[in-house]
Amino acid sequence: MNEVFSQTYEIRGNDFQNAGKVSTDIKTLLKQLGIRPEIIRKVAIACYEAEMNIVMYAKIGTMRMDIDTEKIKITVSDQGPGIADIELAMTEGYSTATQEMREMGFGAGMGLPNIKKNSDEFKIESTLGIGTKLEITIFIN
């Protein structure tokens, strides 16, 4: 039987104080499981960017991680504004971040492209006014 371990984390919009905590928890878990450092690096960057997107734009969201012996799958769903033009949002440097967010060092327009770059498989769905869903898959071997 193929073992699967799953964990779901909640992320709140505008919670800048705890931003990054979920990514840290996920990293700690992967280290305990003995996942290779280079894989953890990819997961860390992808998760962190996804987490920040929720904190910056959405009301609330969840990050669900499913790990089996072959891959780490991260499903990020949020209740938020949604993305009007996904293709544009996937362009490096494109950002809708406010001046305030930029001053905090976010919103360089690298979020989604960076997530995709660090994923082996990447899916994005978004409905305006409802929210966005990302599916990130990173293979372990």
Residue 20 binds other proteins (CB under 8 A): yes
Yes or no: say if 63 and 115 are a contact pair by the CB < 8 Å rule: no
Q: Which residue bears the tokens 């990054």? A: 20
Q: How many CB atoms lie under 10 A from the CB of residue 101? A: 18
Task: Work out how close the CB of 84 gets to other proteins at its nearest, in angstroms, rounded to a whole number.
Answer: 26
Residue 41 binds other proteins (CB under 8 A): yes
* C-alpha to C-alpha distance for 45 and 27, rounded to whole angstroms: 10
Among 4, 84, 86, 130, binds other proteins (CB under 8 A): 4
Closer by beta carbon to other proteins, 65 or else 83: 65
Residue 128 binds other proteins (CB under 8 A): no
- Give Cβ neighbours of residue 11 (< 8 Å, ≥ 6 apart): 22, 51, 54, 55, 58, 60, 61, 62, 63, 78
Interface contacts to other proteins, rule CB under 8 A = 2-5, 7, 20, 23-24, 27, 29, 31-34, 37-38, 40-41, 44-45, 47-49, 67-69, 105, 108, 114, 140
